[in-house]
Amino acid sequence: MSQQINLANPHLLKKRYVFGLREMLVGLGIVLAGALIWAGFLHYQASGLETQALQEEATQASAQAGLDELNAKAQRVVNPQLSTQIKSTQLQVAQRETLLEAIGGTIEKTSVGFSPRLRALALSSTEGVWLNSFNLSADHVQLKGAAFNAGLLTTYMDRLGKQPSFAGMKFSGMTALVASSAPASPSSEGQSTAAALPQYLDFELTAGGSIDSPDQGAADAQ
């Protein structure tokens, strides 16, 4: 009687490890690929942040330049002649308000005489044009004043012509002369410390016949 004996014992076979050299190389490759992808993402994000930082820096530089320009303008020496002109204009406005208040009651109480024309003169006020005096009669109108330029004078005449009390009236006489501006005041070093005042027009408008019983007045309406 014979018996076959299996000498291939499983415990004697060569064991194969799960983490062998090949598996380790594959894992290392995956780690390197992931690291490269992450490094590329960080580089892309850093490039975007750098571009944004450059844009913000350029915006800040532009804003700083504008602020420096404003500071330079704010530190300029105030023109004394301009300050005097501003005070004179404020005084003229105050005088005009006083005049309008004085004639306001008369305009409300009566509808005859020259009150409608006074109202028309007040309603035709134009910025840059002011009256120094006026002379009104039944068939005669004389206005004297000044304007910064001829265009403003034309605008004033158009507004005045649209008023009912001056409708259809044509100014038969008009004179306009350029007033000489005050020269700039030189400093001790011979340089100009203040710019000359702008030129303006002295005008006189007349309409109608001779003066019979004029309603004279002085007005400063800018």
pLDDT of 197 higher than 50:
yes
- Note whether residue 53 is domain-resident: no
Tokens describing residue 198: 């702008």
Q: What does the pLDDT read at residue 3? A: 58
Tokens describing residue 59: 């915006």
Q: What does the pLDDT read at residue 213? A: 47
Question: Residue type for 27, please?
Answer: G
Q: Which residue has the higher pLDDT, 25 or 112?
A: 25
Q: Give the other-Cβ count within 10 Å of 62's Cβ.
A: 10
Q: How far apart are CA 203 and CA 130, in angstroms?
A: 10
Q: Which residues pair with 205 in a beta bridge?
A: 143, 174
Q: Across the chain, what does the average pLDDT equal?
A: 76
Q: Give the other-Cβ count within 10 Å of 94's Cβ.
A: 11
* Average pLDDT over every residue of 184-189: 53
- Note whether residue 2 is domain-resident: no
Q: How far apart are CA 148 and CA 127, in angstroms?
A: 9
Q: How far apart are CA 31 and CA 62, in angstroms?
A: 47
Q: pLDDT category, 193, cuts 50, 70, 90?
A: very low
Range of the domain at 143: 80-180+198-208
Domain count, the chain: 1
pLDDT of 84 higher than 50:
yes
pLDDT of 143 higher than 70:
yes
Q: What does the pLDDT read at residue 219? A: 54
N-to-C CA span, the chain? 144
Q: How far apart are CA 197 and CA 79, in angstroms?
A: 10
Angle at 13 between CA 9 and CA 16, to 5 degrees: 145
Q: pLDDT category, 221, cuts 50, 70, 90?
A: very low
- Note whether residue 161 is domain-resident: yes
- Note whether residue 88 is domain-resident: yes
Q: What is the CATH number of the domain that holds 95?
A: 3.30.1360.100
Q: What does the pLDDT read at residue 111? A: 47
- Note whether residue 171 is domain-resident: yes
What does the pLDDT look like over 40-57, one tens digit per residue?
Answer: 888 888 888 888 888 888
* Average pLDDT over every residue of 156-164: 87
Q: What does the pLDDT read at residue 181? A: 56
- Note whether residue 65 is domain-resident: no
Query: pTM score, two decimals?
Result: 0.41
pLDDT of 217 higher than 60:
no
What does the pLDDT look like over 104-140, one tens digit per residue?
Answer: 655 555 444 557 888 888 888 888 888 888 888 877 8
- Note whether residue 104 is domain-resident: yes
DSSP 187: -
* Average pLDDT over every residue of 8-24: 63
- Note whether residue 166 is domain-resident: yes
pLDDT of 8 higher than 60:
no
Q: Name the E strands within the chain.
A: 129-136, 140-147, 173-179, 200-208, 215-217
Q: What does the pLDDT read at residue 6? A: 56
